[in-house]
Structure 1
Amino acid sequence: MPHEEPLRVAVDLVILTLRDRQLSVLLVQRDEEPHRGRWALPGGFVTAQEDLEEAAQRVLADEASLGSQTVYLEQVRTFGKPDRDPRGRVVSVAFMALGANLPEPQRGEAVADARWWAVQDLGEIQLAFDHATVLEAAIDRARSKLEYTTLAVTFLEPEFTISQLRGVYEDVWGVTLDAGNFHRKATRSPGFIEEVGTRAHLTGGRPARLYRAGDGTSLNPPLMRQG
């Protein structure tokens, strides 16, 4: 019988936030082979005592310096091409983690550097392994879920204005939305947002109403990118 190469399972995290109105992802610069010196998604192998989400939470704490309470975490998909990792047969489960105003990361083990990158600035960067494909899949998932779920509020502080909520959609989708049309759709979607009862004192205009996340998880009707 042919020798069967042992299979290892890893998790990779696509950690997204908005910084200076740009969709940004946290990347680490590898300090060891393979792909030493290249930028990569935070990740690590799953230990025998962990389930997948526990491993993802550990990577959040160790490589991204983020607590489990600061982000929304969701499994995206599994990547398992035989040649995706030169160290051997590695199957990776990708998670996306979304949060508001996430802090500067600290370097973990085997990491030369860690910082936020604007997604639009990654065109010339060759990421390690198949992480460009992993990143694309997670961003596509996040953009799609903004259409039919209340996920946009995870990019915001607990209290926000309608213009700040609209800004999330514009920044994640890379589009400009009609303010009046967006306001009407967002406030009429059951369970999406609810008024706090106070106003934000913004400069240059009258105070704007403050909202917070409602108790819903889906948008009906959805907020579509087109039409």
Structure 2
Amino acid sequence: MDDIKPNQYAAQTPMLVSIDCIVFGFDGENLRILLTKRGLEPGKGRWSLTGGFVGQKEDLERAAARVLHELTGLKNVYLEQLKTYGEPLRDPFARTICVAYFALIDIRKYQDQPNHEGRAKWFSIDEAPPLIFDQNEMVNEACRRVRYKAALHPLLFELLPQKFTIPQLQNLYEQVYGTPIDNRNFIRKVSSTGLLVKLQEKDKSGSRRGAFYFRLDRKKYRAKFQSFLNFIPNPDHLLG
């Protein structure tokens, strides 16, 4: 670094660094994505991901957590860096490098936030409107990443409330992968993980017999996160 002169920095083209968050939620029936109406040009009035610029004294992780908190009011949620997008003309206003993150949140916690002002809207992942710039590419990439990681790690539990039923859990996996899953095989694999604690309470909204609620054993969840039993065979093809 000693041989780099100050004027070499001055000669470089300044660039903006932004954060975009792909926020996924699950309402018990459908996998959803949280979008906002853009309030400035270019693209004013169109739907977009939630985003913002990285502050002078922020690292990327803090900036992403701040952007997500400003929209949802939530902290300490599952947030993972996805990819950096740097095509020179991706933002027609200025050269902008974007670092994309995806987040998995419990929709119910989001709706319970006192600062929630209706600035955003949930869309079914299959019915989301076209987004600005290269954000459709970001969403597609995030969906592939979630499918891949969910086959190896139990991260989809981040989308569920504190208590849930096995049918709800199975429906979540079917939504994420877009395919039916054999019921008996699913129950067997879920039970073998030892991650679930059966409760005495039942959900009787769907039938008179009802379905028992379960909760996640958080200690085992953290311990087994890196060595999860695959629900989906050959997950490598999901990144193709």
TM-score range (shorter-chain normalised) is 0.7 to 0.9
1:224 is aligned to 232
Given candidates 71, 74, 78, the residue that maps to 2:80 is 74
Q: Superposition pairs for residues 59-70 of structure 1, below 5 Å? A: 59-62=67-70, 64-69=71-76
2:36 is aligned to 28
How many angstroms does 1:77 deviate by? 1.1
User: Are the structure 2 counterparts of residues 106 and 5 from structure 1 closer, same or farther at C-alpha, using a change threshold of 3 Å?
Assistant: farther
Determine whether 1:87 maps to 2:87. Answer: no
AA partner of residue 124 (structure 2): A
User: Are the structure 2 counterparts of residues 211 and 20 from structure 1 closer, same or farther at C-alpha, using a change threshold of 3 Å?
Assistant: closer
2:117 is aligned to 106
**Secondary structure of 2:150 counterpart:** helix
How many angstroms does 1:225 deviate by? 5.9
Give unpaired runs (5+ residues) of structure 1.
108-112
Task: Judging by fraction of residues, say which structure has more helix.
Answer: 2
How many angstroms does 1:20 deviate by? 5.4
Determine whether 1:195 maps to 2:197. Answer: yes
Determine whether 1:5 maps to 2:4. Answer: no
Q: Per-residue displacement from partner, 1:40-93 (whole Å, max 9, x unpaired)? A: 10001101111111111211122x233113x31111111111111112221111
How many angstroms does 1:206 deviate by? 4.9
| Contact 1:162-1:211 within 8 A present in 2 as well | no
Determine whether 1:174 maps to 2:182. Answer: no
**Secondary structure of 1:35 counterpart:** coil
| Contact 2:35-2:50 within 8 A present in 1 as well | yes
**Secondary structure of 1:148 counterpart:** coil
How many angstroms does 1:137 deviate by? 0.9
How many angstroms does 1:201 deviate by? 4.4
| Contact 2:32-2:124 within 8 A present in 1 as well | yes
TM-score (norm 2): 0.81
**Secondary structure of 1:32 counterpart:** coil
- Rounded to whole Å, the distance in 2 between the matches of 1:40 and 1:32 is 11
AA partner of residue 132 (structure 2): A
44-53 vs 93-102, greater mean Cα deviation: 93-102
How many angstroms does 1:226 deviate by? 7.4
1:147 is aligned to 151
1:110 is aligned to none
- Rounded to whole Å, the distance in 2 between the matches of 1:226 and 1:178 is 17
